[in-house]
Amino acid sequence: MLEVPRHPALTIMKLLWADKFACIAALFLVLIVVCAAIGPYFLEDAASKLNLRGRNAPPFDWSQGWLFMLGADSLGRSILARIAVAAQNTILIASCAVFASLVIGGALGLIAGYSSRRLGDTIMRLADVIMSFPSLLLAVIVLYMMEPSVLNLVLVLAITRIPVYLRTTRAEVLEIRERMFVQAAIVMGASRMRIIFGHMLPIVVPTLITIGTLDFAFVMLAESALSFLGIGIQPPDITWGLMVSQGKAYLHQAWWLSFWPGIAIILTTMSLNLLSGWLRIVLDPVQRWRLEMGGKNND
C-alpha cells in the first residue's frame, strides 16, 4: 500500500499521540515553557506584592482568589505566581547549560573522533580529568570564588556536563566512520568538513538530543541543589530550588512553602524523563514501529 506523504509535524503529532504518557508530558512541558516565557510579564507584580494579612495563607483557601490556591509565603506573596515567575530562571539556566555543553561537547567529540590520534587522545584525557573531579565540590569553589550569577551558574553546570556529550559523540563517530557511506564519500572526494557536517552529524544529532532531554532534568536538579545550598541563584532572583530552600525555615508552620516548588521540579523532570524515553523509541528505526502501530500492543 502506498502511503500518502504527510507533513512531518503531523507525523510527529501522531507518534506522540501513540504514547499517552509522553503526550501528557509534552503538554505539561509546553505549559511550563509558556509560563517561563510570559509568566514574569503577567505575574511579576502578583509575585512580589506583599500582603502581610495573608502571611503563610494555607493552600486551597479560595477566599483570597485563585492566585492564592497554592497558599502564600511568609510575606503573603502568592506561591502560584512565584512558581510561574521562578520557572523562567529555572528553565533558562538549565536550557542554556544543556545547550552549551551539547554544542561544545558535540564539537569536541566530532574532532576527537575524526582527527589525528594524538589530538583525540588529548581531548579524551581532558574529559577524564573533568569527570574525575567531584563536580559539586568544584561548583562550590568556583561559585564561591566568583559571584554566583546566572551566567556563572550556567558555566559551571555546562563544564561538568561536557564529557557526557563528548564521549557519546566520539563513540558514535568512531563507529560511523567505518561505515560504507562514509568510505564512499571519501572515495568520491568529499571534503573533511562535508563528511563531518553533511554525513556524520545527522546521525549523531538524534542521540545527542535524547541525552540532552535526559540531561536537562539532571542539570535542573543540580541547579536546584546548588541554589538550595545557597551558592546558586541569590535572592531577589528566584528559582524553584531556592524556593524550597527558603521554605525550609517555615517547615513547622507552613509546609506548602517548600512543597509546591518541589512538586514543580518533580513534574518537570518526570515529564522530561518520559519524553526522552519516547524520543529514544522514535529515533530508533528498529523500535519505531511500536509507535507507528498506534501504540497497540503486538505481543
Q: What is the nearest approach in angstroms of another protein to the Cβ of residue 197?
A: 33
Whichever of 32 and 182 has its CB closer to another protein, that residue is 32
What's the one-letter identity of residue 274?
Answer: L
Whichever of 134 and 189 has its CB closer to another protein, that residue is 134
Rg of the chain on CA atoms, in Å: 23
Q: What is the nearest approach in angstroms of another protein to the Cβ of residue 244?
A: 6
151 sits in which H/E element: helix 150-176
Q: What is the nearest approach in angstroms of another protein to the Cβ of residue 153?
A: 16
Prior bond of 236 cis (ω within 30°)? yes
Whichever of 75 and 251 has its CB closer to another protein, that residue is 251
What's the one-letter identity of residue 255?
Answer: W
| Torsion 259-262-268-272 (CA) sign | negative
Residues that bind another protein (CB under 8 A): 128-129, 132-134, 136-137, 140-142, 144-145, 217, 221, 224-225, 228-229, 241, 244-245, 247-248, 251-252, 255, 258-259, 262, 265-266, 269-270, 273-274
First to last CA, the chain: 24
Whichever of 142 and 174 has its CB closer to another protein, that residue is 142
Residue 116: CB atoms within 10 A of its CB come to 9
Q: What is the nearest approach in angstroms of another protein to the Cβ of residue 254?
A: 10
Q: What is the nearest approach in angstroms of another protein to the Cβ of residue 113?
A: 23
Contact call for residues 242 and 227 (beta carbons, < 8 A): yes
Interior angle at CA 92, CA 86 and CA 96, nearest 5? 160
Q: What is the nearest approach in angstroms of another protein to the Cβ of residue 138?
A: 8
**Rounded CA separation 283/165 (Å):** 17
Interior angle at CA 107, CA 105 and CA 123, nearest 5? 65
Whichever of 146 and 184 has its CB closer to another protein, that residue is 146
Whichever of 41 and 144 has its CB closer to another protein, that residue is 144
Contact call for residues 18 and 294 (beta carbons, < 8 A): yes
